[in-house]
Amino acid sequence: MSTSWPLWEVFVRGKRGLNHVHVGSLHAPDAEMALRNARDVYTRRNEGVSIWVVPAAAITASSPDEKDPFFAPAGDKVYRHPTFYSIPEDVPHL
């Protein structure tokens, strides 16, 4: 039975969080049960107010082999941060 249930990735939005954050994965026979399993496995300590589940097979991931061409070129381009603007104090979560 274990081998036949597909894998799902679980994203939870915490009470104090703004975004859904990846918290782990689980097995479930379908999306509805995946959502319920995620509730039972990942929110039993009052962690969340919203859950997403995504079939793991639906995720296209970058490869570790491509790490340098993908990410290294951004390493020395500090000017891409908007540090030259003044940020109003009453704008949260910018």
Binding residues for another protein, rule: CB under 8 A, are 1-2, 5, 14-16, 26-29, 32-33, 36-37, 39-41, 44-48
Please, which residue, 24 or 71, has the CB nearer to another protein? 24
Q: How far is the CB of 77 from another protein (least distance, A)?
A: 30
Please, which residue, 32 or 71, has the CB nearer to another protein? 32
Contacts of 53 (CB under 8 A, 6+ apart): 8, 9, 10, 11, 28, 31, 34, 35, 38
Please, which residue, 45 or 77, has the CB nearer to another protein? 45
Report the C-alpha dihedral over residues 69, 70, 74, 80, rounded to 10 degrees.
Answer: 140
Q: How far is the CB of 50 from another protein (least distance, A)?
A: 13
CA 49 vs. chain centroid, Å, equals: 15
